[in-house]
Amino acid sequence: MTPDQMMFIDPHVHMTSRTTDDYARMREAGIVAIIEPAFWLGQPRTEVGSFKDYYSSLLGWERFRASQFGIRHYCTIGLNSKEANNVALAEQVMEILPLFVCKEGVVGIGEIGYDDQTAAEDRFYRLQLDLAKEVGLPVQIHTPHRDKKAGTIRSMEVAVEHGLSPHMVIVDHNNEETVKDTLDRGFWAAFTIYPGSKMGNERMVEIVKKYGTERIMVNSSADWGVSDPLSVPKTASLMLEKGISAEAVRKVCYQNALDAFGQSGQMHESDWLQPAQVDQREKFSDNSVLRGGQTPVVGEFKRTVPVEDNIVR
Protein backbone atom coordinates (compact mmCIF):
# COMPACT_ATOMS: atom_id res chain seq x y z
CA MET A 1 0.00 0.00 0.00
CA THR A 2 1.24 3.48 -0.87
CA PRO A 3 0.42 6.78 0.92
CA ASP A 4 -1.83 7.69 -2.02
CA GLN A 5 -4.07 4.73 -1.13
CA MET A 6 -4.35 5.51 2.60
CA MET A 7 -6.70 7.61 4.72
CA PHE A 8 -5.36 9.87 7.47
CA ILE A 9 -6.70 11.71 10.50
CA ASP A 10 -4.91 14.79 11.82
CA PRO A 11 -5.97 14.86 15.49
CA HIS A 12 -4.46 18.27 16.25
CA VAL A 13 -4.50 21.05 13.65
CA HIS A 14 -5.50 24.69 14.01
CA MET A 15 -7.36 25.35 10.78
CA THR A 16 -8.60 28.74 11.99
CA SER A 17 -5.07 29.85 11.08
CA ARG A 18 -4.97 28.13 7.69
CA THR A 19 -6.37 28.83 4.24
CA THR A 20 -8.83 27.04 1.99
CA ASP A 21 -5.84 26.00 -0.13
CA ASP A 22 -4.60 24.04 2.88
CA TYR A 23 -7.92 22.22 3.15
CA ALA A 24 -7.74 21.27 -0.53
CA ARG A 25 -4.16 20.01 -0.25
CA MET A 26 -4.96 18.05 2.89
CA ARG A 27 -7.91 16.28 1.28
CA GLU A 28 -5.87 15.54 -1.84
CA ALA A 29 -3.17 14.02 0.41
CA GLY A 30 -5.72 11.66 1.99
CA ILE A 31 -6.74 13.47 5.18
CA VAL A 32 -10.40 12.60 5.75
CA ALA A 33 -10.95 13.96 9.27
CA ILE A 34 -9.35 16.51 11.57
CA ILE A 35 -9.61 17.65 15.17
CA GLU A 36 -9.11 21.33 15.92
CA PRO A 37 -8.29 22.10 19.56
CA ALA A 38 -9.14 25.49 21.01
CA PHE A 39 -5.85 27.32 21.48
CA TRP A 40 -4.03 30.62 21.95
CA LEU A 41 -4.43 32.88 18.91
CA GLY A 42 -1.04 34.60 19.15
CA GLN A 43 -1.97 37.52 21.34
CA PRO A 44 -4.01 37.65 24.54
CA ARG A 45 -7.78 37.93 24.29
CA THR A 46 -9.18 40.63 26.54
CA GLU A 47 -12.92 39.89 26.69
CA VAL A 48 -14.94 36.75 27.34
CA GLY A 49 -16.97 37.53 24.25
CA SER A 50 -13.93 36.85 22.07
CA PHE A 51 -13.78 33.33 23.51
CA LYS A 52 -17.48 32.85 22.87
CA ASP A 53 -17.12 33.90 19.23
CA TYR A 54 -14.01 31.75 18.79
CA TYR A 55 -15.67 28.61 20.19
CA SER A 56 -18.70 29.31 18.00
CA SER A 57 -16.48 29.53 14.91
CA LEU A 58 -14.97 26.12 15.67
CA LEU A 59 -18.46 24.64 15.85
CA GLY A 60 -19.83 26.53 12.86
CA TRP A 61 -17.71 28.18 10.20
CA GLU A 62 -14.74 25.81 10.41
CA ARG A 63 -16.95 22.71 10.25
CA PHE A 64 -18.60 24.18 7.15
CA ARG A 65 -15.32 25.25 5.56
CA ALA A 66 -13.80 21.79 6.02
CA SER A 67 -16.90 20.14 4.58
CA GLN A 68 -16.51 22.18 1.40
CA PHE A 69 -13.32 20.21 0.75
CA GLY A 70 -14.58 16.79 1.78
CA ILE A 71 -13.04 16.77 5.29
CA ARG A 72 -14.92 16.01 8.52
CA HIS A 73 -14.12 18.61 11.17
CA TYR A 74 -14.27 17.99 14.91
CA CYS A 75 -12.92 20.08 17.76
CA THR A 76 -11.95 20.09 21.40
CA ILE A 77 -13.05 23.01 23.55
CA GLY A 78 -11.15 24.43 26.51
CA LEU A 79 -9.25 27.29 28.10
CA ASN A 80 -5.62 27.03 27.07
CA SER A 81 -2.94 27.16 29.74
CA LYS A 82 -1.31 30.37 28.49
CA GLU A 83 -4.51 32.39 28.96
CA ALA A 84 -5.34 30.74 32.27
CA ASN A 85 -2.94 33.20 33.88
CA ASN A 86 -5.40 36.05 33.34
CA VAL A 87 -7.43 34.87 36.32
CA ALA A 88 -10.33 37.31 36.10
CA LEU A 89 -10.92 36.48 32.43
CA ALA A 90 -10.31 32.77 32.95
CA GLU A 91 -13.05 32.69 35.57
CA GLN A 92 -15.49 34.14 33.04
CA VAL A 93 -14.42 31.62 30.41
CA MET A 94 -15.06 28.77 32.81
CA GLU A 95 -18.63 30.01 33.16
CA ILE A 96 -19.31 29.66 29.42
CA LEU A 97 -17.43 26.42 28.73
CA PRO A 98 -20.37 24.19 29.74
CA LEU A 99 -22.44 25.90 27.01
CA PHE A 100 -20.08 24.57 24.33
CA VAL A 101 -18.53 21.27 25.40
CA CYS A 102 -21.62 19.16 24.71
CA LYS A 103 -22.30 20.59 21.26
CA GLU A 104 -22.27 18.43 18.14
CA GLY A 105 -18.75 17.78 16.89
CA VAL A 106 -16.97 18.37 20.22
CA VAL A 107 -14.80 15.30 20.88
CA GLY A 108 -12.94 16.44 23.98
CA ILE A 109 -11.87 19.10 26.45
CA GLY A 110 -8.70 20.70 25.16
CA GLU A 111 -6.12 21.66 24.66
CA ILE A 112 -5.50 22.21 28.35
CA GLY A 113 -2.67 21.70 30.82
CA TYR A 114 0.45 23.64 31.74
CA ASP A 115 2.61 26.30 30.12
CA ASP A 116 4.74 27.94 32.83
CA GLN A 117 3.22 25.59 35.44
CA THR A 118 1.85 28.44 37.56
CA ALA A 119 -0.71 28.19 40.34
CA ALA A 120 -3.35 29.74 38.07
CA GLU A 121 -2.68 27.20 35.32
CA ASP A 122 -2.98 24.40 37.84
CA ARG A 123 -6.27 25.75 39.15
CA PHE A 124 -7.97 26.01 35.77
CA TYR A 125 -6.49 22.74 34.52
CA ARG A 126 -8.07 20.97 37.48
CA LEU A 127 -11.42 22.67 36.95
CA GLN A 128 -11.47 21.55 33.33
CA LEU A 129 -10.54 17.99 34.28
CA ASP A 130 -13.57 17.99 36.55
CA LEU A 131 -15.71 19.27 33.69
CA ALA A 132 -14.40 16.53 31.38
CA LYS A 133 -15.21 13.89 33.95
CA GLU A 134 -18.68 15.34 34.47
CA VAL A 135 -19.58 15.28 30.77
CA GLY A 136 -17.69 12.08 29.93
CA LEU A 137 -15.35 13.54 27.31
CA PRO A 138 -11.70 12.74 26.58
CA VAL A 139 -9.06 15.28 27.58
CA GLN A 140 -6.41 16.67 25.22
CA ILE A 141 -3.37 17.82 27.19
CA HIS A 142 -0.88 20.45 26.02
CA THR A 143 2.47 19.64 27.60
CA PRO A 144 4.76 22.58 28.44
CA HIS A 145 7.63 23.68 26.24
CA ARG A 146 9.82 24.36 29.29
CA ASP A 147 10.65 21.68 31.86
CA LYS A 148 8.64 19.34 29.63
CA LYS A 149 9.26 16.04 31.39
CA ALA A 150 8.29 17.31 34.84
CA GLY A 151 5.27 19.13 33.41
CA THR A 152 4.13 16.07 31.47
CA ILE A 153 4.35 13.82 34.52
CA ARG A 154 2.56 16.42 36.61
CA SER A 155 -0.21 16.67 33.99
CA MET A 156 -0.79 12.93 34.15
CA GLU A 157 -0.63 12.69 37.92
CA VAL A 158 -3.19 15.47 38.34
CA ALA A 159 -5.50 13.83 35.79
CA VAL A 160 -5.42 10.56 37.71
CA GLU A 161 -5.86 12.43 40.98
CA HIS A 162 -9.09 13.88 39.56
CA GLY A 163 -10.41 10.45 38.72
CA LEU A 164 -9.79 10.35 34.97
CA SER A 165 -8.80 7.02 33.47
CA PRO A 166 -5.59 7.27 31.42
CA HIS A 167 -7.37 5.85 28.36
CA MET A 168 -9.52 9.01 28.33
CA VAL A 169 -6.50 11.35 28.21
CA ILE A 170 -4.42 12.23 25.13
CA VAL A 171 -1.04 13.68 26.12
CA ASP A 172 0.21 15.82 23.25
CA HIS A 173 3.57 17.19 22.08
CA ASN A 174 5.50 14.18 23.37
CA ASN A 175 9.15 13.64 22.52
CA GLU A 176 11.91 11.12 23.31
CA GLU A 177 12.13 12.49 26.85
CA THR A 178 8.47 11.91 27.74
CA VAL A 179 7.18 9.02 25.63
CA LYS A 180 8.12 6.15 27.96
CA ASP A 181 6.50 7.79 31.00
CA THR A 182 3.35 8.53 29.01
CA LEU A 183 2.99 5.00 27.64
CA ASP A 184 3.99 3.27 30.89
CA ARG A 185 1.20 5.12 32.70
CA GLY A 186 -1.40 4.01 30.15
CA PHE A 187 -2.06 7.39 28.48
CA TRP A 188 -2.34 8.10 24.75
CA ALA A 189 0.92 9.58 23.43
CA ALA A 190 0.49 12.12 20.63
CA PHE A 191 3.44 13.55 18.72
CA THR A 192 3.50 16.85 16.86
CA ILE A 193 5.53 16.86 13.64
CA TYR A 194 6.62 20.48 13.62
CA PRO A 195 9.44 21.60 11.29
CA GLY A 196 12.63 22.39 13.20
CA SER A 197 10.91 22.22 16.56
CA LYS A 198 8.94 19.59 18.48
CA MET A 199 9.49 16.42 16.43
CA GLY A 200 10.79 15.70 12.93
CA ASN A 201 9.61 12.95 10.59
CA GLU A 202 12.82 10.93 10.95
CA ARG A 203 12.65 11.05 14.75
CA MET A 204 9.02 9.92 14.62
CA VAL A 205 10.03 6.88 12.57
CA GLU A 206 12.51 5.91 15.27
CA ILE A 207 9.89 6.37 18.00
CA VAL A 208 7.55 3.91 16.25
CA LYS A 209 10.37 1.44 15.64
CA LYS A 210 11.32 1.53 19.33
CA TYR A 211 7.91 1.74 21.04
CA GLY A 212 5.54 0.22 18.48
CA THR A 213 2.09 1.58 17.67
CA GLU A 214 0.04 1.04 20.83
CA ARG A 215 -1.58 4.33 21.92
CA ILE A 216 0.75 6.44 19.71
CA MET A 217 -0.59 8.99 17.23
CA VAL A 218 0.85 11.64 14.91
CA ASN A 219 -0.42 15.19 14.30
CA SER A 220 0.70 18.42 12.67
CA SER A 221 -0.49 21.07 15.15
CA ALA A 222 -0.34 23.37 12.11
CA ASP A 223 -1.18 26.93 13.15
CA TRP A 224 -0.28 30.56 12.46
CA GLY A 225 3.44 29.84 12.82
CA VAL A 226 5.83 28.03 10.51
CA SER A 227 4.11 24.65 10.33
CA ASP A 228 2.89 22.04 7.86
CA PRO A 229 -0.71 20.78 7.58
CA LEU A 230 0.57 17.80 5.55
CA SER A 231 2.81 16.51 8.35
CA VAL A 232 0.70 13.40 8.94
CA PRO A 233 0.69 12.04 5.35
CA LYS A 234 4.35 13.02 4.90
CA THR A 235 5.31 11.13 8.05
CA ALA A 236 3.27 8.15 6.88
CA SER A 237 5.15 8.22 3.58
CA LEU A 238 8.52 8.20 5.32
CA MET A 239 7.46 5.39 7.66
CA LEU A 240 6.55 3.21 4.71
CA GLU A 241 9.81 4.12 2.99
CA LYS A 242 11.75 3.07 6.12
CA GLY A 243 10.10 -0.35 6.26
CA ILE A 244 7.32 0.20 8.79
CA SER A 245 4.28 -1.85 7.79
CA ALA A 246 1.19 -0.27 6.28
CA GLU A 247 -0.91 -1.56 9.18
CA ALA A 248 1.43 0.08 11.72
CA VAL A 249 1.30 3.35 9.77
CA ARG A 250 -2.49 3.13 9.68
CA LYS A 251 -2.60 2.80 13.46
CA VAL A 252 -0.46 5.84 14.29
CA CYS A 253 -1.76 8.04 11.47
CA TYR A 254 -5.45 7.08 11.58
CA GLN A 255 -6.87 4.37 13.82
CA ASN A 256 -5.46 5.41 17.20
CA ALA A 257 -6.84 8.93 16.83
CA LEU A 258 -10.24 7.48 15.94
CA ASP A 259 -10.15 5.12 18.92
CA ALA A 260 -9.07 7.83 21.37
CA PHE A 261 -11.43 10.62 20.34
CA GLY A 262 -14.19 8.22 19.30
CA GLN A 263 -14.74 7.69 23.03
CA SER A 264 -16.62 10.99 22.91
CA GLY A 265 -19.43 9.34 20.96
CA GLN A 266 -19.19 12.20 18.44
CA MET A 267 -16.69 10.75 15.97
CA HIS A 268 -17.50 7.72 13.83
CA GLU A 269 -15.65 6.19 10.89
CA SER A 270 -18.93 6.03 9.00
CA ASP A 271 -18.86 9.85 8.95
CA TRP A 272 -16.37 9.79 6.07
CA LEU A 273 -16.17 6.27 4.59
CA GLN A 274 -18.44 7.12 1.68
CA PRO A 275 -16.88 9.19 -1.13
CA ALA A 276 -16.75 12.83 -0.06
CA GLN A 277 -19.63 14.74 -1.64
CA VAL A 278 -19.41 18.52 -1.64
CA ASP A 279 -21.42 21.40 -2.98
CA GLN A 280 -19.40 24.59 -2.96
CA ARG A 281 -22.48 26.55 -3.99
CA GLU A 282 -23.63 26.26 -0.39
CA LYS A 283 -23.21 29.10 2.07
CA PHE A 284 -22.79 29.49 5.82
CA SER A 285 -24.27 32.67 7.30
CA ASP A 286 -24.50 33.89 3.71
CA ASN A 287 -20.76 33.34 3.22
CA SER A 288 -19.03 31.06 0.72
CA VAL A 289 -15.50 29.66 0.43
CA LEU A 290 -15.50 30.89 -3.17
CA ARG A 291 -15.02 34.33 -4.65
CA GLY A 292 -16.57 35.86 -7.75
CA GLY A 293 -16.03 33.91 -10.94
CA GLN A 294 -14.62 30.78 -9.28
CA THR A 295 -16.12 27.47 -10.37
CA PRO A 296 -17.72 25.50 -7.52
CA VAL A 297 -17.00 21.81 -6.99
CA VAL A 298 -20.28 19.90 -6.93
CA GLY A 299 -20.26 16.16 -6.31
CA GLU A 300 -17.35 13.98 -5.26
CA PHE A 301 -14.23 15.79 -4.10
CA LYS A 302 -11.67 13.59 -5.81
CA ARG A 303 -8.17 12.88 -4.63
CA THR A 304 -5.85 13.83 -7.47
CA VAL A 305 -2.55 15.02 -6.01
CA PRO A 306 0.02 12.61 -4.47
CA VAL A 307 1.66 13.27 -1.11
CA GLU A 308 4.41 15.84 -1.46
CA ASP A 309 7.92 14.51 -1.41
CA ASN A 310 9.62 17.11 0.81
CA ILE A 311 10.17 15.30 4.12
CA VAL A 312 11.24 17.23 7.23
CA ARG A 313 14.23 15.32 8.55
Mean pLDDT within 91-110: 97
Give per-residue pLDDT as tens, 61-88. 999 999 999 999 999 999 999 999 999 9
| Whether pLDDT at 297 is above 90 | no
| Percent over 70 (pLDDT), the chain | 95
pLDDT of residue 49: 97
Domains of the chain plus CATH, in order, are 7-267 (3.20.20.140)
Average pLDDT in the 161-189 region?
97
Cα–chain center distance at 104: 17
Which pTM was predicted?
A: 0.93
| pLDDT in the model for residue 114 | 95
Per-residue model confidence (pLDDT) at position 291: 85
Average pLDDT of every residue of the chain:
92
Classified as helix, coil or strand, 34 is strand
Kindly state the percentage of the chain with pLDDT values over 90: 78
Buried b (16+ CB within 10 A) or exposed e, 48-66: beebeebbebbbebbbbbb
**What pLDDT shows up at residue 286?**
87
117-166 residue pLDDT tens: 999 999 999 999 999 999 999 999 999 888 889 999 999 999 999 999 99
SS3 content of the chain, % helix, strand, coil (to 5): 45, 15, 40
